[in-house]
Structures are given as C-alpha cells and as structure tokens.
Amino acid sequence: MKIPNFYKIKFSEIQEYNHTPTEKVKFFFLSYIFAFIIMFIVLLLITMPMDFFVMKVLHFDSIKKTISPLKSFPHRYPFYLVVFISPFFEEILFRLALILNKKNISIFIGLLVYVILGGKISTFSIGNSSYIYFALIGLAISSLTYFYLPQQTVDSLRKHCTHYLIKFSILFFGLIHIANASVLHWELSLFYPFFVLPQIIMGYFITNLRLKYGFWWGYALHVLFNAIGRI
C-alpha cells in the first residue's frame, strides 16, 4: 500500500493544506485506517513474536498484557474522561506547541507546570486544595510567559527547533505509555519501547493532522483512537 504524500511529515517545515471540509473528513478517516493497518502489522511481526520470546525464553510475564489497553480500565476511569478529557490535555502537552507562538507556548508551559507539581487530570476536584493551588501556579506562570517571552526568542525557536520538537513529541508520546505497565522489570528495559510502537504510530498520524489541519483535527483523531480502543 502506497501512502499518499499527505501522510509524510516534512520535519523541516510546517505544511498547511487548504482542503475542503469534505477532503478533511476523508483524510481524517483515512488517517485512522492507515494507522490501524500499520499498527496491526507491527503487532503481528514485532509485538507478538517479542512477547513470545519474553515469556518462553526469558520467563517473564507477558509485557503486552501488563501494558494494558484502554479497555482494561472500564471501572477505573469513566468513558468521558478517557475518550474526551484526557486526549484534550494530552494534545496540549504533546502537540499544541508544535506550532510555535507565544499563546501556544504559554498554555503548554502552564499545564506542564501543573503536571510537574503533582496535579492530575483524572482525579481533579474543586475540593482538592492542592490541585487548585497547582492550577493557580500554572496559570500565573503561563501568564508571565505570554507577556514576557520575547518574540525574537519565539521566532528563533520556530526556525531552529521545530523539526526536533516534532520528532521528540512523536517519540515521547509513545514512550510515556510504558508507564501504563502494571509491573516494570528493569531487565526488560530494552524491550518496552517495542511494545509502545502502536502509540508512536498513533502519535505520528495525530501529529500529521495537527500540523496540517490544526489542533482540533489532531484532537478529534486522538478521541477516535481512544473511543475505538475503549470498545
């Protein structure tokens, strides 16, 4: 299967496609189909043989099962959180600032500060004073960033760092899913990245739509992935 040029990210530049709404919807669903096919091939040719090796030769539990898919958490997290809320904040963290401007950078930094301080999305509550405190700190730093970040710095980052940020975003989005593992064995550290290849592939296609159609199209594809994975 030959993948159209639309799905090839040129890391040295941001590509904007002025497609009609109908064309955007078509490429949106084709993105999901292409990603699903590639992930299925990776599952058959890499993930399953490697998992067999880990279990039968190295005598560890299945990594594939320990890195649980979304549908393994039907009672732990509600549907709306997994499918709609979490993807929104993940898109801010991983892909909003791929289009480098003061607004995107400021929002990203504010949410990043909130997460680093210990704030969570899944358990956020108005009654939790710590989360409110973390959110206020993030909002303050976001505002300061917006008003005091020099435009020259933004322009320089856009010119010299965009391609690195895109690659890092795709890889890190996948690798962070290793944290989903119920048990981590450091002896298997070199194996874990192969088990999050589906998430790296997913991140590639979401990033492609985000760069070419905008934030909300990438978010919508992320929602579709999570919704299908939860079924």
Sequence-distant (≥ 6) Cβ neighbours of residue 195 within 8 angstroms = 47, 50, 51, 63, 64, 67, 178
Q: What is the pTM of this model?
A: 0.92
Distances (CA, A) of 167 to 38, 95, 98, 190, 220: 19, 11, 10, 20, 21
Q: Hey, where are the domains in the chain?
A: 19-101+151-230
Identify the three-state secondary structure at position 55: helix
Identify the three-state secondary structure at position 67: strand
Per-residue pLDDT of the chain (231 residues; tens, 9 = 90+): 455 678 888 776 677 788 899 999 999 999 999 999 999 999 999 999 999 999 999 999 999 888 865 544 545 678 889 899 999 999 999 999 999 999 999 999 999 999 999 998 877 666 678 889 999 999 999 999 999 999 999 999 999 999 999 999 999 999 999 988 888 899 999 999 999 999 999 999 999 999 999 999 999 999 999 999 877
DSSP symbol at 4: P
Please list the residues that pair with 181 across neighbouring strands: 67
The DSSP result for 100-162, as a single string, is --HHHHHHHHHHHHHHHHT--STT--TT-HHHHHHHHHHHHHHHHHHHHS-HHHHHHHHHHHH
d(CA 66, CA 148): 45
